[in-house]
Chains A and B, each alone.
Chain A
Amino acid sequence: MKSARSTMSRSRAQTIFYTAAALISLLGLAEATYLTVVYLSGETAVCGGSADCFQVLGSGYAKIGPVPVSGLGALAYFGAFTFATFAGFGYPRARQFFTWTVIAMFCMTLWLLFVQAFRLHAFCRYCLFSAALVFLLTGLVVARPVAETQRN
C-alpha cells in the first residue's frame, strides 16, 4: 500500500517536473524561432536603445557556417521539449535524452556567455533570456535526481 502511494506520488512529481521543463523549452523555442526569422528576413535586431544585440547577433559568432546559432537553438529547444514531453508520459529513454540535450545546451550557453563577455564585450538581451532559460532547465535536471533519491 505504502509502496503504491509512493509510486503514485513519484509519478505525479515527475509529471510536474517534466511539464515545467516542457513549458520552459517552449518559451525558448518561441524566442529562438523569432530570432531565426529576424536573421533570415535580414532585419537588424536592436534591443531597446542599445546596439548590443546588433553587435552580438551580427557577429561571426552568431552563425556556424550559413546556419544561424538561433536556428540551432530552436532545434535544441524543440528537442528538449520533445524529450521532456515523452519523459513526462513515462518513456524512460526520453529522460536520458532530455538530460543530455540540456547538458549540451548548458555547455553551448557557457560558451556564448564567454564570447559575449570577453570577445564581443556586449550582451544581447535575447541571448541572456535564453541563457536564463537554459540555466533553469539545468537546475531542474540537477534537482531531479535529488528529489527522486529523497523519495526513494
Chain B
Amino acid sequence: MRRYLPFIIVICVALLAVGGGAFLYRTKRAANPELKISKTETERSGEIVHVLGPADAAVTLEEFGDFQCPPCGKLSEPLNQLQKRYNLRVIYREFPLAIHAHAKEAAYAAEAAARQGRFWQMHDLLYREQAVWSKSSDARALFNAYAGMLQLDLDRFKKDMDSGEVQRQVELDQQRGASIGVKNTPTIFINNEAVPGPESNPEQLPGLVEAALKKAKPSS
C-alpha cells in the first residue's frame, strides 16, 4: 500500500486542482456572462452621452468606468492618447461601484461639470487626483475645489450635483451597463465587442484598436 501512496496523493491533488479550477471557472463565467452590445441597443431619450472624437470614426470605444476604481485611473491617460492617435470615438459611461465610498459622488461631480461643458476636463482631473480624494473624509469639498480649478460656476455646480437630473443620468448609465451585463470596471467595448478584463490595459488596447481599425477598413 505504501508503495502506491505517493501516486494516490499526487493524483488526488491533481484532480482537486483541476476540479476546483473548473468549478471556480464555471462560477465566474456564470457570474460574468459574455458581454456584447447589441446593434439594436439605442440611446434612451433625454440621455446625455459623453463623446470624444468624430461621430463617423471607424472605431468607437465605449468605457464603463468608476472614478474611484484604480485600474480605471491607470487607463484614463492611455485612453486619451489612444483617442488622439487613432482619432477614435470614445464614449464614457458612469458605472460607480457600491464598494467605493465616493464613486457615486464623483460621478455626480463629472455630470455636474458636464452641465457646464466641462465633462472631460473633470473626468481627467478626477482620475488624476483619484489617490487624493479617494482617501479624503470630505471628498465633496475637493470636488468643489476641482470645479473652481476648472472655472465652473460653483453655485450652479453644487446645485447640479444634488439635482435629480444629474443623479438620474448616472442611474441611466448604470442601467444601461447592467442591461448588457457589465459588472466590473473598467469594462470596455470596441465597436460593441467587449474587451476581456485582462486585455483592458494600456499595453494591449492599442493592438485591439488597430485590429478593429483593420476590420473596419479592410482595404487600407
Contact = CB atoms under 8 A, between A and B. Distances in A.
Interface string B7-24: 001100110010011001
Contact of A74 (B17, B134, B203): B17
B6 interface: yes
Given A51-B70, A51-B73, A54-B74, A44 B197 contact: yes
Interface residues of B, number: 32
B203 A60 contact: yes
B96 interface: no
Contacts of B198: 38-39, 42-45, 57-58, 62
Given A58-B198, A82-B10, A38 B28 contact: yes
A36 B201 contact: no
Interface residues of A, number: 35
Contacts of B185: 44
Contacts of A26: 13
B25 A86 contact: no
Interface in A21-48: 26, 29-30, 33-34, 36-46
B5 interface: yes
Contacts of B117: none
Nearest to B28: A41
Which residue of B32, B71, B200 has the most chain A CB atoms within 10 A of its CB atom?
Answer: B71
Contacts of A82: 10
Given A34-B24, A41-B25, A85 B6 contact: yes
A55 B74 contact: yes
A81 interface: yes
B88 to A, nearest CB: 20
B13 A51 contact: no
Interface of B: 2, 5-6, 9-10, 13-14, 17, 20-21, 24-25, 28-29, 32, 69-71, 73-74, 134, 184-186, 196-201, 203-204
Interface of A: 26, 29-30, 33-34, 36-46, 49-51, 54-55, 57-60, 62, 74, 78, 81-82, 85-86, 88-89, 91
Shortest 9 CB-CB contacts between residues of A and residues of B: A51-B70, A58-B201, A42-B196, A41-B28, A54-B71, A44-B197, A89-B6, A51-B74, A37-B24
